[in-house]
Each structure stands twice: as C-alpha cells, then as structure tokens.
Amino acid sequence: NAGVTQTPKFQVLKTGQSMTLQCAQDMNHNSMYWYRQDPGMGLRLIYYSASEGTTDKGEVPNGYNVSRLNKREFSLRLESAAPSQTSVYFCASSPDPSSGANVLTFGAGSRLTVL
Amino acid sequence: EDQVTQSPEALRLQEGESSSLNCSYTVSGLRGLFWYRQDPGKGPEFLFTLYSAGEEKEKERLKATLTKKESFLHITAPKPEDSATYLCAAPFSGGYNKLIFGAGTRLAVHP
C-alpha cells in the first residue's frame, strides 16, 4: 500500500536550472497539495488541486507551477530555481475536504538544494 | 489574519515525565483542528481531528483537547519512541482545502 509517492527524494540544482517534482497517490483521493517545509517556519502551502482539472494558489506560489495530470498525479515545476527555493517539499492528498474531514496523507518528502 | 502558533518550540522530557504542548489559533469559523506527528526525514502522519470546544481524543499516551482559542496535546508518561515533532493545523478561513500549519514542537524523551 504505497499511499503518496514522491520523486526524486534528493536533488541538487544550480541557480537558474529547472526541474519537476513528481507526486502520485493510489488512494483515489480527490485533492492534492504541495507544501514546502523550512526550519522554524513549519509547512507552507504552495499550490493545491481540489479536484482533477483544477489548481489554485496557496500561501507561497511565486516561482512555481503545477500540473494535475490526472486524478493520481500532481507535479510541481520550478522554471528557474533560486537559492530561496532550497527546502524540503511535501506532496499530500485528501479524499474530499468539503466533507469537513480534511485529513491529509503526506509523502516522504523531496529535499531540494539550489546552489 | 489566519495564524496557528505552537509552543514551546522544543521540549525535553525524561521518560515518564508528563507534559503538554500548546497550539493557539486565530482562524475564523474553525472547521477542525488537526494534530500530526512528524519523525525525522519523513512526512507528517495524522493523529487527531477536533471540531468543537470541549472535545477530547486519545491515542495511547496522547490526549488532544480543544478550547475556543487553543488546543493542547497532553503526553502522559512519555517513552523515548514518542520523540518527534508535533504539528497542529487548521483550515484557512477561506476554505477547507487550505490547511495552515504551526511551526511545530520538537519533543525529545530521554530514558
């Protein structure tokens, strides 16, 4: 039972390079999310997708783009990486937030370093 | 402004020494207060959801409680395996989909 799978687990980029973080869930959840976690700042929402075909900005969307490829997959793209984007990125999914029970299941995280 | 604040930042306990972690929130029309546990190098794992003031939930040595302005995570007779970062979160006033997280409390339980 895989849950939420993120790839890659680690990545080092140079300033200005681009990359895509991949996320897939096998729980038939409707909603998916991308968070970043920095020391002392907790988890901050970058983008989310309430359902297949929709995406919306979170707290810190600048410098990122997302694609909800299908119900299972939600990718996060950095077009031109900056050192400020050095962080641990978590993908999460939830079944149906409108029901009120918005329990998120998280992936193991992707640690990104931008030099 | 929606905000979730946790204290203390870090807590060191001896095995068996009970204590409490605090989560205060300023979110209009609270639609759930969530507690997660995060082990080093892993993603957060769900522990509890509380919906109304006075509600309590328990799991092993953990008990979560909720008032109108804050939530507490009480740890009774902790063991070293309870060492982790504990996160609380609440949906933004604007909708269920956006959870705002506190910065967490790093708990270390020593034998």
Mutation for testing the A interface, residue in B96, B100, B106 having most A CBs under 10 Å: B96
B 11-40 residues inside an 8 A Cβ radius of A:
31-32, 34
pLDDT band at A98 (very low <50, low <70, confident <90, very high): low
Of the candidates A48, A49, A67, A50, which has an alpha carbon nearest to the alpha carbon of residue A59?
Answer: A48
CB contacts, 8 Å: A106 with chain B? 43-45
Predicted pLDDT at A34: 97
Residue A101 has a pLDDT of 63
Inter-chain residue contact B44 with A103, CB threshold 8 Å? no
| Structure tokens belonging to residue A5 | 């799978």
Q: Report the pLDDT value the prediction gives residue B94, as an integer from 0 to 100.
A: 67
Spatial CA neighbour of B64 closest among B53, B50, B46? B50
Q: Which residue of A lies nearest to B34 if distances are taken between CA atoms?
A: A103
To the nearest whole number, what is the mean pLDDT of chain B?
Answer: 92
Measure CA of the first residue to CA of the last residue in chain A; give whole Å: 36
Assess B50–A contact: CB distance below 8 Å, yes or no.
no
Which one is predicted more confidently, A8 or B2? A8
Per-residue pLDDT, A63 = 96
Say whether pLDDT at A99 is over 70: no
Check pLDDT > 70 for residue B95: no
Which residues on neighbouring strands pair with residue B52, listed in sequence order?
none
Is residue A96 over pLDDT 80? no
pLDDT digits (tens, 9 = 90+) for B39-86: 999 999 999 999 899 999 999 999 999 998 899 999 999 999 999 999
Least confident of A73-77, A100-104, B93-97: B93-97
Q: How many CB atoms neighbour CB B99 within 10 A? A: 26
